[in-house]
Amino acid sequence: MSDTWNKARIVNRLAEAHGYRRYLEICAAVTGQRYAEIDRQLLSCRRLSYLTPGEHTDGLGTDYRSPDRDIGACLAQLAADGFAFDIALVDPWHEYETSWRDLNEAFRLLPEGGSLVVHDCLPPRAEIVAPYYREGLPEWCGVTYQAYVDFVHGRNDLVFYTVDCDYGCGVIRKKPGTGRRGQRARIAVSQRGLRRQWQEAKRAGSAEAFAFFQANRVPLLDLIPVEAFLAREPAPPPAARSPLGPRP
């Protein structure tokens, strides 16, 4: 089943399960790539794309665009437009700094009970986790997986799990009632040693970090198969599905 599921299907299923109606995608010109597969019957969609030249188009529209890594003006315009989203896809340029920034900004704007889907959290091979892109790489997941692990294990105002499909699709949900109190995580004793070892592996180098990640990916990611995801996020019966209203 994992071969037929991808980040867009994860977004659509979460929208069905939770009644989400507004979607934001944060990506670069060469990431994302499945915007057309988001269910417009469920979701009003907007996209923020950086490292995206003005002439670049895939025919689907880009609401907020930056030609370089800086998304400050895009975020300011999004706020000025008053667009509030329930669910977002974060498929960043896969360097650590951009991945961490995109996670932080998307989570900051997320309402309580809203969800982020994060792509490339489970890279399968060492050769595609270079920290910086090199010309000629046929695949590149970079170190988004490192930023994701650091982010979800560094806060106490979220719950998360990761679906084992499409290079790993992380699901982060903002807990209700936490407000701004999520800057330091309260970590279970059983997880403290794992987190410490993870940080030590990162300090040792990229090869050591990926080897540790591969050996401990299930507890680090709370990794579940697609079947468990579908059971955890059941879709409502067709009669309960409400039509999408006009685009805000």
Residue 134 or 25, more confident: 25
The mean of the pLDDT values for the chain is 91
What domains does the chain contain, in order, with CATH numbers? 2-233 (3.40.50)
> pLDDT confidence of 184, banded at 50, 70, 90?
very low
- Residue 162 DSSP symbol: E
Q: Residue range 52-79: average pLDDT?
A: 94
Q: Residue range 159-182: average pLDDT?
A: 86
pLDDT tens, position by position, 117-154: 999 999 999 999 999 998 888 899 999 999 999 999 99
> Does residue 182 have a pLDDT over 80?
no
pLDDT-above-90 percentage for the chain: 81
- What 98-105 contacts at long range (C-beta under 8 Å, 24+ apart), as own/partner pairs, is 98/28, 98/50, 98/69, 99/142, 99/143, 99/144, 99/146, 99/147, 99/148, 100/147, 100/150, 100/151, 101/71, 102/26, 102/71, 103/147, 103/148, 103/151, 103/172, 104/151, 105/26, 105/71, 105/75
Query: What tokens appear for 152 in the block?
Result: 């979800």
Cβ proximity of 65 and 53 under 8 Å? no
Radius of gyration of the chain from Cα atoms?
Answer: 18
Other Cβ atoms less than 10 A from the Cβ of 158: the count is: 19
Q: What is the structure's pLDDT at 191? A: 75
Q: What is the structure's pLDDT at 243? A: 59
